[in-house]
Structure 1
Amino acid sequence: MPYLELSADFRPYYEIHDATDPWTTPQTIVFVHGFTESTEAFRAWVPYLSRHYRVVTYDLRGFGRNAPVDSDFRYSTELYVDDLVRIINHLAGGPAHIVAFKSGGISTMRLAATRPDLVRSITLACPPMVAPGGDDWLPFMEENGLRAWARKTMPARLGRDVPPRAIDWWTDLMGATALSTARAYLKWVGTTEAGLDMPGIECPALVILTRLSAQTNAAAGQVPADTVRKGMPHAELLELDLDCYHPAASHPDICAPAMRDFLLRLDT
C-alpha cells in the first residue's frame, strides 16, 4: 500500500486513479474527506472523474490506514492546510481542483482563500460553515463507541431511503476510527467557523447543499443557501431536496456527475 513520505509524523496513505488517455496531460483532482471517513468515502465518485482527470485521494491524519493520533493531539486548520499543500505539491505538482466532503471543507476553504496559486477550483459537498457536531457526540462515543455513534447518526447523515446494506457499510467505515482520534478532532472542529473564509475565495466554486430542518442543519454545521450566496456570490449552488446532510455519500450518482460537468464547463 502506498504511503507518502512527507515528514516523520505525517506519512499519509494515498491512492491515484487515472484512466485518462496516456498521451494527454490531465489536470489533477484532490479529495479531502471529513470526520471519521477515509479514501474509501470517494469510491463511487472516482469512476465519474478518473476518465477525464487524475484523481488523488488520501487519508487525513489519524484516519483510515494512517495511525491514530493521541487524544491530546493538537489538530488545527493551519496544520490541515499545510498537509494539503504538501499533498498538492508532491502528488499534483501544481494547482489542483479540490473536492471536500463535510468538515474537509474547513481546510479546503482556508487553502482557497490563502493559497490561490494551488487551487484551480473547489467543490464543497455539505460543508460546515459554522462549527459542526452535536454536544452529545463525544459523550455518546465515550459510553457506546464510535460504531454505535456512527449508526445513530446515519438517518440524518444519509437519509431514510438508502438500503440497509449501505447503512451497514458506512457505519463500519466511520466506526473504524479510533476514539482517541475522535476526541482530538472534535476539540478542534468545535472551534471552527469556515464561513469566515468565504469572502477570500475567488476561484471557481461548486457548493452542494440539501434543504433540511434547522435542527439537522445545525448538527451538520450548514447554513442556509442564501448565506453561501452572499459569502461567495460567484459560486454555483446545487441544492438538493433530500432528507439528509451528506448527499455526497447517499447520492453520489447525482453529486459526482454534477461536479464533473462543473469542471468540464471550466475547460470550455
Structure 2
Amino acid sequence: MLASEEHARVGALRARRATAHHVTVAPGVDIAYVVDDYTDGWTTPPVVMLLHGIGESAEAFAGWAPRLARHCRVVRVDLRGYGLSSPVDEHAALSIEAMADDIDALAARLGGAIHVVGAKLGAQVALALAQRGAPWMASLTLAGVLISPGGALGKWVDDWLRLVDRSGVEGWARATMPGRMGSALTPQAMEWWTRYMGEAPAGAVKACFRMLPRLAEPSRLEAIRCPTQVIVAVQPERPGAYDQRQSVAEVRRWQSRIPGSALVELQADSYHIAATHPDACAALTLSFIERISS
C-alpha cells in the first residue's frame, strides 16, 4: 500500500472512531455503529440498519449510504468481532443466535421500527431475527445470502483456516475474492476489497469460519412475517476456485418458503452483490421500503 493511501486510510479510521456510537448489548460486548442521515429536518425518515459479512465492517456499506441516507436514517453496524465492536477470540463459541441477540439489544436501544438489510454473514443474522418475529423489524432485504452456509462453504473451512494461518486474512481474501466478486469489479476495486478485508481481525474471521459448518438451511422460513425482499444475481455458469454463487432456481426455491416475499433479479455474476453493485442494491432497497411504507 502506498504511503499516501495508508495515511488516508488511517485518517478515515480516526475520523470514524470520533463519530462512532457504542452500545453495551451484553456483559463485555459492545457494538459500534455509525449513522448516515441527510434527510430533511422536518421529516420523520425510516431507519435502515445494514449488517455486513465476514471480514468486513460498517465500511462495507459505504457505497450504499449516498442513495439511502438522503431518504432514510442509515445505521451501519460493526458486528461482534469486527470494526470498532468488541473483539472475538478465534476459539470463542460464536453463534448466529448470539450475534442476533446483539442486534436485538441494539435495536431496543435505538427504538422504533427498523428496516434490516443483510449481506452474507449479516444476512444470516437478519434471517435469525426475522424468524424470531422481532417486533421492531419493519422489513428484511437480503443482498447476497447463502441459505445453507454449511452446505456451500463447510467443505472449505479447513482450507480457509490454513490460509489465514499461513498468509493472514489478506491471503485468504486474495485467494477467495474471485469466487466472491465474480468479474464485476475492476482490478483496482478487487485490490481495494482484498486489502480492506485483509485488515479484519484474524480471531473474528476464524471464529466465524468455525461456525459455518453448523449453519444449515433455516427450518422456520415460513415463520417470517415482515415484508421480505431477496436480491439475487443472474449470472452465467463460470465455475472457479471457492465459487460462492448459487443459481437463481436455488434461491427461488427457498425464497418461496417466506410468505409474501419478493425475488428481484440483478444482472450481475457475483455472489457479493452488496459490494459489487452497491448503487443498484441501494436503489432496490429504497424502492422496496418506500413501496411497503406507502
Regarding TM over 0.5, the answer is: yes
* Structure 1 pair 174–197 and aligned structure 2 pair: CA distance change class (3 A): farther
Matched residues in 2 for 1:254 and 1:29: separation?
16
Alignment of 1:65-214 (within 5 A): 65-91=84-110, 93-131=111-149, 132-133=152-153, 134-135=156-157, 136-212=159-235, 213=237
Q: Which runs of 5+ in 1 are unaligned?
A: none
Aligned counterpart, 1:220: 244
* Structure 1 pair 219–42 and aligned structure 2 pair: CA distance change class (3 A): same
Aligned counterpart, 1:241: 267
The Cα of 1:188 is off from its aligned counterpart by 1.3
Contact 1:3 1:11 in 2 (8 A): no
Matched residues in 2 for 1:214 and 1:82: separation?
38
Structure 1 stretches of 4+ moved >4 Å:
212-219
Moved more, 182-191 or 1-10: 1-10
The Cα of 1:102 is off from its aligned counterpart by 0.9
> Under a length normalisation based on structure 1, what TM-score does the superposition of the two structures give?
0.91
One-letter amino acid of the counterpart of residue 203, structure 2:
S
* Structure 1 pair 151–68 and aligned structure 2 pair: CA distance change class (3 A): same
* Structure 1 pair 195–86 and aligned structure 2 pair: CA distance change class (3 A): same
Moved more, 191-200 or 76-85: 191-200
The Cα of 1:48 is off from its aligned counterpart by 0.8
Moved more, 206-215 or 183-192: 206-215
Counting aligned pairs with the same residue, the percent is 34
Matched residues in 2 for 1:222 and 1:129: separation?
10
Matched residues in 2 for 1:216 and 1:197: separation?
32
Aligned counterpart, 1:33: 52
TM-align CA RMSD? 2.1
> Under a length normalisation based on structure 2, what TM-score does the superposition of the two structures give?
0.84
Alignment of 1:53-68 (within 5 A): 53-68=72-87
Partner secondary structure for residue 260 of structure 1: helix
2:256 to 225, 230, 234: 230
Q: Deviations over 1:207-228 (max 9, x none)?
A: 0112354967985385613313
One-letter amino acid of the counterpart of residue 102, structure 1:
K
Partner secondary structure for residue 31 of structure 2: coil
Contact 1:109 1:197 in 2 (8 A): no
